[in-house]
Amino acid sequence: MNPAIVGVGTSGFGRFPTERIESLAWTAVIEALDDAGLTPSDIDAAYVGSVFGPPGIANRVLAGVGLAGIPVYRIEAACASGTVALHEAQRAVRTGVHRRVLAVGVEQLSVVFDGPIVPEPTDPEGRAGLALPALYAMQANRYLDAHGLDASVLAHIAVKNKFAGSLNPRAHLGGTPPSFEQVLASRPIAGPLTLLQCCPMTDGAAAVVVGVDTDPGAVPFLASSFVSGPMWDAAGDEPWSMRTVAAAAANVWEQSGRGPEDVDVAEMHDAFTIGEILTTEALGLAAPGTAGDLAGSGETALGGRRPINPSGGLLSRGHPLGATGLAQAAELVWQLRGAAGPRQVEGARVALLETMGGGAAGVDGNACVVALLGAPS
Question: Taking 90 as the threshold, does the pLDDT of residue 271 lie above it?
Answer: yes
> Where are any strands of DSSP class E within the chain?
3-10, 45-49, 72-75, 101-108, 188-190, 193-194, 203-212, 219-228, 265-267, 350-357, 367-374
| Phi and psi angles of residue 206, each rounded to the nearest 5 degrees, phi first | -150, 155
Based on its alpha-carbon atoms, the radius of gyration of the chain, rounded to whole angstroms, reads 19
Number of other residues whose CB lies within 10 A of the CB of residue 183: 23
pLDDT of residue 362: 81
Helices (H) and strands (E) in the chain, counts: 12, 11
List Cβ<8 Å contacts ≥24 apart for 256-260.
Answer: 256/222, 256/223, 256/372, 258/222, 258/223, 258/350, 258/372, 259/284, 260/284, 260/285
Largest CA distance in the chain: 58
Peptide bond into 3 cis (omega under 30): no
pLDDT of residue 235: 67
Among 87, 98, 319, 368, the one annotated catalytic? 319
Q: How far from 363 is each of 130, 159, 186, 359, 360, CA to CA, in Å? A: 17, 32, 33, 9, 6
pLDDT of residue 40: 97
pLDDT of residue 242: 87
pLDDT of residue 234: 66
pLDDT of residue 220: 98
pLDDT of residue 211: 98
Percentage of the chain lying above the pLDDT 90 cut = 87
pLDDT of residue 295: 98
How far apart (Å, rounded) are the C-alpha atoms in residues 173 and 165?
7
How far apart (Å, rounded) are the C-alpha atoms in residues 256 and 164?
29
Instruction: Assess contact for 269 and 354: CB atoms under 8 A.
Output: yes
Sign of the C-alpha dihedral, residues 215, 39, 72, 20? positive
SS3 73: strand
Closest CA to 347 of 305, 308, 309, 310: 305
**β 203-212/3-10 pair status:** antiparallel
SS3 355: strand
What's the mean per-residue pLDDT of the chain? 95
Instruction: Assess contact for 75 and 47: CB atoms under 8 A.
Output: yes
Question: Taking 70 as the threshold, does the pLDDT of residue 100 lie above it?
Answer: yes
Average pLDDT estimate for 173-188: 97
pLDDT of residue 124: 82
Question: Taking 80 as the threshold, does the pLDDT of residue 299 lie above it?
Answer: yes
Average pLDDT estimate for 268-272: 97
How far apart (Å, rounded) are the C-alpha atoms in residues 263 and 275?
19
Among 79, 198, 199, 368, the one annotated catalytic? 79
- The CATH code of the domain at 3-113+200-374 is 3.40.47.10
Q: What is the DSSP letter of 348?
A: -
- Specify whether 269 is catalytic: no
Q: Which residue has the higher pLDDT, 242 or 211?
A: 211
Average pLDDT estimate for 157-185: 97
pLDDT of residue 126: 79
The pLDDT tens digits of the residues spanning 110-161 come to 999 887 887 788 888 878 888 889 989 999 999 999 999 999 999 999 999 9
How far apart (Å, rounded) are the C-alpha atoms in residues 76 and 79?
8
- Specify whether 319 is catalytic: yes
> Which region holds residue 66: left if phi is over 0, alpha if psi is between -120 and 50, else beta?
left
The pLDDT tens digits of the residues spanning 41-75 come to 999 999 999 999 999 999 999 999 999 999 999 99
Question: Taking 90 as the threshold, does the pLDDT of residue 377 lie above it?
Answer: no
Question: Taking 80 as the threshold, does the pLDDT of residue 360 lie above it?
Answer: no
